[in-house]
Amino acid sequence: MLTKKESISQVIVTAAQMREIEGRIFAAGMPVPALMEKVAGLIASRIQDFSSNFEQGRQREQVRILPPFPCVGILVGPGHNGGDALVVARELHFRGYAVWVYLPFDKLKELTSQHLQYAQSIGIPCYGEIEQLPDCDVLVDGLFGFGLERTITDPIASVINQLNEWNKPIISIDLPSGLHTDTGEVLGTAIRATYTLCLGLWKQGLLQDQALDYVGKAELIDFDIPWADVQAVLEDVPKVKRITPATALSTLPLPRPPVTHKYKEGHLLLICGSRRYAGGAILTALGARGSGVGMLSIAVPESLKQLLVSHLPEALVIGCPETESGAIAQLQLPEKTELSSFSAIACGPGLTKDATSIVEEVLASDRPLVLDADGLNILAQLGTIPTLQQRPAVTVLTPHTGEFQRLFPDVADAKHDRVKAVQEAATQSGAVVLLKGARTAIANPQGSVWINPESTPALARGGSGDVLTGLLGGLLAQVANKEIPVEDIVATAAWWHGQAGILAASERTELGVDAFTLSQYLLKVIVGRS
Ligand SMILES: NC(=O)C1=CN([C@@H]2O[C@H](COP(=O)(O)OP(=O)(O)OC[C@H]3O[C@@H](n4cnc5c(N)ncnc54)[C@H](O)[C@@H]3O)[C@@H](O)[C@H]2O)[C@H](O)CC1
Ligand SMILES: [K+]
């Protein structure tokens, strides 16, 4: 059972859903000004933490140092994001900070206007021109929150660009002003935040790849939204959720039952590699080894067999007849073994496009199937995505953006809104689709989505996807007979892979995470945590 805090940290909402949830709180009797006061008080306290934590953080994260009582410039917009910012200004003022307000709008919402009046009455200086703002140590961005609906134009657009050029730490309230709350698109221009303090529930746009250059380090400010209101609003819609350590760890096949045997702990068949791409087969197999799968069989072209055996002595390596180009020509399984003997199949890395008949064969099998890399390219070429619906077992597709576009040319541009794109692809194909990226997104055919909220650019490296395919195949094989939704297992694999990259990068820098090293960090992620 997840605690309420954990459940809240999983939820991802759109602007419309947040407004509806907020509406229920107000309708139940919470006064709007009281909620703003509560939320902004929490933001002010967090900013106060930062002025000491920035210093500690310097060795750890190389963040810019702030003095204990920094001079704070507060950017105030016309709506309630601006209202929050004015309450923050007032609170910091009373806590001894030097505070200046920049407010470039004449027309303000009523509550925001009242807070402005009071801020001025207690002597907080307010300016309408950015040039009037004194040299501050940090800026707090309360220009726009989830109410931004249209493109930002001049003069505000130029001001935002100018503020970004100042290169000062910026703390954005709720989301960096200028980002679309749902898609994370930049509407004209946007604040490049150092920190984003997201209010109440995670906004979907903050977890979209295109927003990441603007979001900085993001954290949730929990202001005690009643769980019943969240459930009431999200009940009937496909859920978009953040993968958290608690959910990922809870789906791991641990602890094992005391009495078991290797086949009970999953038998994975990997089909991968070619003479040209031998390394891909090794890396996929190392990913599978990292999953802890009970039994691993690896089908490769005959000429790769000895290589694979020397790297993975525990695996059963099946050497298959090969084409002239060195691709697998035919799956030659050991006697009395059929594809249906395996708990799951993972197929694709390093195959080359000459292995078309192999992909057709595994698609025709009745086993849970992961298709990646050339497996996906062949599937796109075959044009048989519609037949995935008829497979008696689950199919998991793991494309990066390029493969995604080849597979699903009719689906709305994956660069514009990755969440919507992955949802459409899964619904259209009947497969579970994992769209790789900085924020990998996984959808099931019913439209539910998991997003992996943490990753590292260290993983942008040849072979790291192969490790994921093996890991995922191994997990799938282990839970094949358990009642765990497949998309949950796929999410766990994405999280585990991402965490291994983060851990490896923290010890070896982002340049030190080659795919082999990555596979060696998988175990370290879960030791002591599960
Ligand atoms: N979620 C909650 O429960 C709470 C949210 N709070 C804060 O309120 C904002 C949302 O406030 P809202 O007033 O609805 O919207 P904004 O502040 O984002 O701004 C809307 C404001 O801006 C005008 N506008 C929109 N687009 C543009 C544009 N391109 N150029 C100029 N002006 C534009 C629009 O007309 C409106 O007037 C949320 O993010 C939180 O920060 C509460 O304080 C606490 C509870
Ligand atoms: K903001």
Rounded to the nearest angstrom, the distance between the alpha carbon of 316 and the centre of ligand 2 is 56
**Cα separation, 174 vs 319, whole angstroms:** 56
**Interface ipTM:** 0.97
Is 149 annotated to bind a ligand? Reply is yes
User: In percent, how much of the chain has pLDDT > 70?
Assistant: 97
Q: Does 400 appear as a known binding residue?
A: yes
- Average pLDDT in the 208-226 region? 97
Calpha distance 12→343 (Å, rounded): 33
> Could you tell me how many residues make up the chain?
530
Residue holding tokens 């819609």? 237
The bound ligand whose nearest atom lies closest to the alpha carbon of 13 is: 1
pLDDT score at 2: 77
Q: Which residues contact 430 (CB under 8 A, 6 or more apart)?
A: 388, 389, 391, 395, 445
Q: How confident is the model at residue 49 (pLDDT cuts 50, 70, 90)?
A: confident
Among 73, 46, 252, 279, residue whose Cα is nearest residue 168:
73
8 A C-beta contact, residue 289 and residue 526? no
Nearest ligand atom owner, CA of 140: 2
Query: According to CATH, what is the number of the domain 243-522?
Result: 3.40.1190.20
Ligand 1 pocket, CB under 6 A: 18, 22, 35-36, 39, 77-84, 109, 144-152, 173-174, 199-200
Is the predicted pLDDT of residue 437 greater than 60, yes or no? yes
* Nearest residue by C-alpha to atom 21 in ligand 1: 79
User: If you measure from the C-alpha of residue 155 to the centroid of ligand 1, how many angstroms do you get, rounded to a whole number?
Assistant: 18
Return the ligand number nearest the Cα of 77: 1
- Would the pLDDT of 53 be above 90? no
Give 71-96 pLDDT, tens digit per residue: 999 999 999 999 999 999 999 999 99
Between CA 148 and CA 79 the distance in angstroms is: 9
Q: Is 84 annotated as a binding residue?
A: yes
- The pTM (predicted TM-score) of the whole model is 0.95
What is the pLDDT of the chain when averaged over all its residues?
95
**pLDDT for the residue 62:** 39
Distance 178 CA to ligand 1 centre (A): 11
Joined together, the tokens standing for residue 274 give 């070619």
Tell me 79's DSSP state. Answer: S
How many CA atoms does the CB half-sphere of 78 hold within 13 Å? 10
Give yes or no for a contact between 222 and 201, defined as CB atoms under 8 angstroms apart: no
Identify the CA nearest to 399 among candidates 453, 333, 348, 326. Answer: 348
Q: What is the pLDDT of residue 4?
A: 84
Query: Could you tell me the fold of the domain covering 2-52+65-237?
Result: Rossmann fold (3.40.50)
List, in order, residues 6 or more apart from 181 with CB less than 8 Å away.
14, 15, 18, 145, 146, 148, 175, 203, 204, 205
∠ CA 417-420-423, nearest 5°, is: 145
Fill in the amino acid letter for 236.
Answer: D
Question: For position 63, what pLDDT does the model report?
Answer: 47
pLDDT the model gives residue 60: 45
Q: What are phi and psi of 242, to 5 degrees?
A: -90, 135
pLDDT tens string 492-502: 999 999 999 99
59, pLDDT greater than 80: no
Q: Ligand 1, residue 150: give the atom nearest the CA.
A: 29
How crowded is the C-beta side of 404, counted as CA atoms within 13 Å?
27
Return the ligand 1 atom nearest residue 112 CA.
Answer: 13
Return the best residue to mutate from 80, 171, 185 for the ligand 1 pocket (most ligand atoms within 8 A of CB): 80
Q: Among 109-118, 209-218, 306-315, 412-421, where is mean pLDDT lowest?
A: 412-421
Residue 344 in contact with residue 367, Cβ under 8 Å? yes
Mean pLDDT of 472-499: 96
In the chain, domain spans:
2-52+65-237, 243-522
State percent of the chain over pLDDT 90: 91
pLDDT band at 54 (very low <50, low <70, confident <90, very high): very low
pLDDT for 326-336, tens place per residue?
A: 999 999 999 99
99: pLDDT strictly greater than 60:
yes
Question: Is 60 exceeded by the pLDDT of residue 12?
Answer: yes
